[in-house]
Amino acid sequence: MLACSASSGAGASVPTQACGHETVEAYCAQHTCETFDQVAEAVRRQDKEAIATNAMFRYAIGTCGSYRTIDTQTMGMSRTFYDASGRLAAMDAVADAPMCGNEMSMSVGTAPKCEPTIIERGGAP
């Protein structure tokens, strides 16, 4: 689950696509960038749905210095970093298929150089 998404009109968030590297400001000007609390709630909900349907989904919530992090894994992986106010600070994502054009990965902002300390995990088998 990417931190930024476009509304499907039914209140649900749908991951959007971006290529290469963008600043957070440029990315959020084009997309709805959800807060840490919104994304954490969404991944917990998605985890429950994945367990109920035996779908592959894993997540980890943690801290990395002064940042909070959310990692997700489905058919690709993403790690998002949020500042103390819960706003998107950086995001890195890798997919098993091109996200757009021939790009297999994307990044937004500059991710901190640290390994998150995990404080919550979830995941379907």
Domain membership of residue 3 (yes or no) is no
Q: What is the share, in percent, of the chain residues with pLDDT greater than 70?
A: 80
Look at the chain and report how many structural domains it folds into. 1
Label each residue of the chain as H, E or C. Answer: CCCEEEECCCCCEEECCCCEEECHHHHHHHCEECCHHHHHHHHHHHHHHHHHHCCCCEEEEEEECCEEEEEEECCEEEEEEECCCCCEEEEEEEECCCCECCECEEEEECCCCCCCEEEEEEECC
Tell me, what's the pLDDT at 81? 97
List the domain range (segments joined by +) for residue 43: 20-123
Is 62 inside a domain boundary? Answer: yes
6 lies in a domain?
A: no
Inside any domain, residue 27: yes
Share of the chain above pLDDT 90, in %: 58
